[in-house]
A and B are shown apart, each in its own frame.
Chain A
C-alpha cells in the first residue's frame, strides 16, 4: 500500500486524466433534494455537500434491471443472443463512501457463491473504485459498529482523505496504482502523520460480534414483532441498501421477439415468498423483518465470513415510518 498526497488544485487534472482513460466515470450528482450516482462528464458535476446518496453504488455492478439474454423466433427457429461481456465498459466509481466500498465483499460473495455470475464479475473487474473518507456523518451512520469506519479502506482501490489543501491517497490495489499512474507526477509521498483528524468520528453503539452470536438464537424472539409493528412492507430499505442482492427474473415478450431480465426484488414484500399454492412461509411483516436482520447479521456471516451491513444508514433514512436500523440493533444488543 502506498500513501500518497495530491494537492487540491491538482485533483481536477488527475480526474480529467482518469476520465480520458476510462469510458465511464460514475460519481454522486445532486438532483433537486437528493444526491444520486450518475455518469458524469466533468469534475464540476461531482457533488460533495452531502452525507449520503439515497441509493447506494451497488447498481453500478448490479443494475436495477439487466438483460440476461434476448431471443427472436423465426417460424419454428429460435435465435438467442446471450450477454456479451465485451459490452461492459471500463469505468471508475468516484467519490464513494467507505461503507459503499465495503459493501462489495458481501456482493462478491453472493455472486460467486456457487454460480459465478458473469455479468456481475465482468462489471466488477472493469470497475475501479476511488472512495473518499467521510469528513462528516449523521445520526443514522453506524459504520464503526459493524466493523467499518469513516476512513476504512476495505473495498477501495484508492481511498482519498481530504485535508485542508489536498487529499491523502491510500492506494490499495494494482487498479489503484494504474489510476495514479495516469498522473503520477501530481502525487507525492505522504508522511504528515495520521489521517484520523480529517475523518468523521462515528460513535460505536454496539458490539457486532456479541450481536451476531446473540441473534443466532433469536429466531423465535418477540422482538421482531415489536420492532416491525409499524413497518408498512414497502421495498425502500432493500432497494437503497448497498448489500441487498435479491432479484427476480422477468420475461419481456414482444411478439416473436423478447428478452429475459433480472430485476431487483425485496424480501420486505409480502409476495416475495408467496407460493403458487397460496401458502406464504413468511406471512407476517414480523417474519419478513426478522429475515432482513437475520440475513444480514446471522446468515451471511455464517456462510460468507462478512456482515451483510456496512452501517451506511440508508435504509433508516429512506424508511417512510422511521424504522431506524441502528436503534433496532442497539435495542437487540441490550436484550439480556
Chain B
C-alpha cells in the first residue's frame, strides 16, 4: 500500500469525528474485558467470543454505512453491535440471559439482534449468513433501494461451500452486497496455512468477477479508506465487493481455550500493532485530541459499562410460561 498517499487523505478527519471513533474502539475494548470478567463469575454462560484487537475493522467499516444498510455478522459480534449503536445495556442483559436483552434473552452472546438498527444478528453457523446477505441485497435491488448489505465473516468461512455459492450468486445477480472477511489468521484453533490453498483471500474475488481488496485491519484510517471505496463502487456499479481486513485477535478463540495452536511471541508481536494506541497517537499528533480528553473517554466508557452491568443484574428472568413464544409469529399475516 502507498503509505504516503493515505497519510495526506487522513487530514480530512475532524476532531469530533476522530474522538467519536476512538470512543467507539475504547468502549468495545473495555466492554470485552468486562465480559471476560463477568464470565469467570458465571454471570455469562455458554460460548463467549471476544473482539479484542480487531476493533478497527468493525468501527472502520460500519462508520461508512448508513442507517438503511443491513449488517449481518458472526458469533464474534459484540464490537459490531456496539459500533452500530446497539444499546450496551441491552447487549449485557442479553449475555446475562435476561428478558431485557436485545434478543429478549433468548439468543445470548452469539445471537445479538436489533431490527431497529438493521442489525441482523450474530449468526453461529459458520458462513450460514452469507446466502442470507445475498438474498437481502437481492431484495434491495428488486425494491430499487440503494442500500448496501454488509456481511462480516472470518477467513474460516471462506472455506465453506456457501462462500463459493454466495460469491457466485452475488456476482451473477449483481446485488449490492459488501462481503468483509476479518482474516484473523486462525479458524478457532487452525491456522490459515492449514485451511487455505490461497492465503491472500482477496485473490478469490476475481474468480467470480467480484472486485476485491485487502487492507491492514489494524489501521483504522486504512480500513475507513478501503470501505469508502468499496461502498462507492457497489453503489455506482451495482455490483458486489469483497474486502479482506487482515487483523488479529489478542484473546483466545473463546473463554475455554488454552491457545495451544499459536505462540505467545506471535501474540505479543501483533499487540504492538494494537489499533487503539496507534489511532490515539495519530489524533494526538494531529492535535485532534488531548491526553485529558482520552482519560475522560476511558472513564466515560467504564461508567457506561458499569451501568450496563447494573442494568443486566437488575434484569428479570422470563417466565417459563412464555417458553413457546416466538416459535410462530403472533401476527396473523404480513
A, B from the same assembly: no
